């Protein structure tokens, strides 16, 4: 079977396009944007199990993290989990966290949390977030395996911030 020069050039062009596409996907997924399927109800009602969302991986490296952001991070060793976690960032280094009478206090001030599934049914004695660490909780506090159980996580473990819930379509949402 003999191919013409035109056919060979076309095949080379297609191979080049496919290799470029693969390269771009790897770069984007590694450094810029990733997608996640939420496996648990720990963030209900904000995020439902099975929701699919994009996680952006850049801004947290150049801009300070803000309390209240929904983040994705490597599960801390003390959690004995293998999957990444998606939780709400509650405490930054130096913050003092306390939970009493179903209310979360950060630095002695009650935190307004309209996103909670229900009032917390547990308490947490005052704890100071160490340097290089953070404190994160799920919005479904009574059914979330989070910092109130396993403690602090390394800031360097943060992979990114929730950017956009894209599925199901009825729950599409841009995150701050």
Three-state SS at 100: strand
Percent of the chain with pLDDT over 70: 97
Which of 57, 87, 133, 161 is flagged as catalytic?
A: 87
Q: Which residue intervals of 28-165 are DSSP H helices? A: 59-62, 147-150
- pTM, two decimal places: 0.84
Banded pLDDT at 3 (limits 50, 70, 90): low
Q: In the block, which residue shows the tokens 């952006």?
A: 56
Confidence of residue 176 (pLDDT cuts 50, 70, 90): low
Domain 34-174 sits in which CATH superfamily? Umud Fragment, subunit A (2.10.109.10)
Residue 42 bears catalytic tag: yes
Checking if the pLDDT of 108 tops 70, the result is yes
The yes-or-no answer on residue 133 being catalytic is no
Alpha carbon dihedral 146, 147, 153, 155, in 10-degree steps, equals: 90
């Amino acid at each position: 079977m003999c191919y013409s020069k035109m056919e060979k050039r076309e095949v080379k062009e297609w191979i080049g396009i496919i290799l470029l596409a693969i390269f771009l996907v790897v770069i984007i997924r590694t450094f810029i944007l990733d997608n996640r399927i939420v496996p648990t109800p720990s963030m209900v009602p904000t995020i439902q199990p099975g929701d699919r969302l994009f996680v952006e991986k850049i801004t947290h490296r150049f801009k300070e993290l803000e309390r209240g952001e929904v983040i994705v991070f490597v599960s801390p060793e003390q959690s004995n989990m293998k999957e990444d976690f998606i939780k709400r960032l509650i405490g930054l280094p130096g913050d003092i966290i306390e939970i009493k009478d179903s209310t979360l206090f950060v630095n002695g001030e009650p935190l307004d949390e309209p996103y909670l599934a229900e009032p917390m049914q547990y308490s947490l004695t005052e704890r100071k977030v160490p340097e290089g660490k953070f404190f994160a909780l799920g919005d479904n506090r009574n059914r979330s395996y989070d910092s109130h159980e396993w403690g602090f996580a390394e800031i360097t473990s943060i992979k990114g911030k929730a950017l956009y819930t894209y599925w199901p379509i009825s729950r599409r949402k841009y995150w701050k």
